Homo-oligomer: A and B are copies of this chain.
């Protein structure tokens, strides 16, 4: 396991305003809020900036995606390449870059071999149960429709998140649960951690905030509180 929990992850996605120096500036803002508040933050920079952010900040970094070396075509970063660039973990099967069924199992194994935290994305409890048979480090529970939405599951169906956490605790208690999709406010973050998750994250809410530092500070309380209790 390469990441410490709990944490709040900021995903830079492929937005033009998170590229290169702008992405580094965002990462430094996040680092400063972390230092001031003690809230653990993790970032998922653009792949061409992975090393930049890993070298110039002390934040853990997650690769947005990686390709199995045996499948990699020209220009696709492999698990080995993102590890060498400083990644601590990798998103596998993200709803915005889905993996084949066969590759998910291989990717979890590859992460274990390369010292990377495997974060497998699933969209339902049913898919989560299947993914647990691969023994990933972490499951990211997110519905594609919640991405960049104002009505994510954390607001509309928090009981589903709690039920997901219970299912994981029952089936494979050392797998962590991360929730994403539609987390926009401090209340959302508190609600997510109140459901028992080990990590939460956001992309659009952080990127679109008029004052990013203020937004980041506003959400830290939900994360910090959660870190005081231990799950399982």
Contact = CB atoms under 8 A, between A and B. Distances in A.
Contact of A51 (B52, B63, B78): B52
A129 to B, nearest CB: 5
Interface of A: 11, 13-14, 16, 19-21, 46-52, 63-67, 69, 72-78, 80-82, 84-85, 91, 93-102, 104-105, 122-124, 126-127, 129-131, 133-134
Contacts of A49: 51, 81, 84-85
Closest 7 CB pairs of A and B: A65-B75, A20-B84, A64-B75, A14-B72, A74-B96, A48-B85, A74-B97
**Copies of chain A in the complex:** 4
Given A14-B81, A48-B47, A131-B130, A75 B101 contact: no
A120 B65 CA distance: 26
Contact of A74 (B13, B20, B67, B81): B13
Q: Which of A69, A101, A126 has the most CB of B within 10 A?
A: A101
A67 B76 CA distance: 11
A15 to B, nearest CB: 9
A229 to B, nearest CB: 30
25 contacts: A11-B74, A14-B75, A14-B78, A16-B69, A19-B81, A20-B51, A47-B77, A48-B50, A49-B51, A49-B85, A64-B74, A65-B75, A65-B76, A66-B75, A73-B97, A93-B102, A98-B100, A100-B101, A102-B127, A105-B126, A105-B127, A129-B133, A130-B130, A130-B131, A130-B133
B105 A98 contact: no
Contacts of A67: 14
Contacts of A97: 73-76
